[in-house]
Amino acid sequence: MSTKRDKFTSEDYYYMNHAINLAVERNGFTGLNPSVGCVVVKNNKIISFGQTGFKGRPHAENVALKTCKKKDLKGSTIYVTMEPCTHHGKTPPCTDLIVKSKIKRVIYSIEDVDIRTKNKAHTLLKSKKIITSRGLLKNKTKKIYKNYFEHKKNEKPFIVSKLACSKDYLTSSRKKFITNEYSRKVSHLFRYYYDAILVSSKTANADKSVLSCRIEGLENHSPLRLIIDRELKIIKTSPVINDSRRKNTIIFHNSKNKKKINYLKSKGIKLEYVDLDNNGQLNLKKVFYNIYKIGISSVIVEGGKSLTKNLLKNNLINEFYLFRSNKNLKKIGKNKINDLMKKINNLFKRKENIDTFLNGDEIIRYF
């Protein structure tokens, strides 16, 4: 049985692309709320636009409509990248604002997955005699909301894991760095883009990294720091325990060591006790559920081989990035990951080389 499809003009595509650009620009900075772009058009001219606020509020429709006079909004068309909300949350429904504004036509790209709103806006708006269409550039907006769909459906953040290795697939070296400076800058962009960064205490102790974004101008967008540390083996001299961002750090553990617990708390570190799984490891599904509950929508995991294997075993990774050097380490390297890469190739259906200028290094995305 075929279904009737909404018809769109070339102008509709043009204005929805503007809304999509607004959503992309704010994507990753709206907490658990989706990043939505909105454009209001009258007489073939943009009269207002909006995007979701940082941390998720105000909503894009609210921003766009509040900056217009009611007389200007009457008879206009509003383009929104996601179905306008119909439910009362911390703010009134965006559909209420649309109806009150006397807007003539609403076009949105993709349905919300939030059960409080899903597929309700279309019926509601049409019942108010507003011309309502959906599905415009849906495949394009779907990519924007992969993080949002993941945590909304599964109550866990969107999890991206990455590893750096040599050309001969070794992950450890006597040298400090395996990949070159260009790869490392891309790695820091990841830290800028995701809400939180997660490592094991073993990695934190070995690398002595501050787990921050160190690209000039983006330092203030460094992610929340998360550490998997079953027995609280994080060393007292670790930068994550002593630097100015220590209060932006959470350690997930299963320790009864009151002395270490009290010491870490005295430094301002947040501690989360998590039960063990059947293999005697921290229950990673519970870890990520707790992470989701504090409002984190996306996590970049910079773990070593062991943590990555555990994540794969629990089917928790949504995307994997391999940063591969163009140089062989041979005898100065160790920790071959051929077995790990075999598992990754089996688990992920698609892969692509990221087109960047890395002076010989390469980045491969598995998804």
**Beta strands 319-324 and 158-165, pairing class:** parallel
Half-sphere exposure of 170 toward its Cβ, with a 13 Å CA cutoff?
16
The 3 state secondary structure assigned to 3-33 is CCCCCCCHHHHHHHHHHHHHHHHHCCCCCCC
Whole-model pTM?
Answer: 0.86
Helix (H, G, I), strand (E, B) or coil at 157: coil
CA dihedral for 173, 178, 181, 186, sign (positive or negative): negative
Mean pLDDT by 10 residues, the chain (367 residues): 70 98 94 96 97 94 93 96 91 93 97 94 96 97 94 94 92 78 90 94 90 84 94 95 92 97 96 95 96 95 90 95 90 83 94 85 95
Q: Is the dihedral of CA 282, 147, 22, 119 positive or negative?
A: negative
H/E stretch holding 342 reads helix 338-347
CB–CB of 242/267 below 8 Å?
yes
- Which residue do the tokens 């992950």 mark? 171
Q: For position 2, what pLDDT does the model report? A: 41
pLDDT attached to residue 4? 57
117 within 8 A of 134, measured Cβ to Cβ: no
350 three-state secondary structure: coil
Give yes or no for a contact between 110 and 142, defined as CB atoms under 8 angstroms apart.
yes
Cβ 46 vs Cβ 18: under 8 Å: yes
Give the pairing type, strands 362-366 and 319-324: antiparallel
What positions carry a catalytic annotation?
A: 61
Q: Which two tokens stand for residue 150?
A: 């993941």
Terminal-residue alpha carbon distance, the chain: 33
Q: Are strands 105-110 and 77-82 parallel, antiparallel or unpaired?
A: parallel
SS3 177: coil
Q: What is the largest CA-CA distance in the chain?
A: 74
Q: Read off the tokens for 348.
A: 């992920």
Instruction: Identify the pLDDT of residue 1.
Output: 38
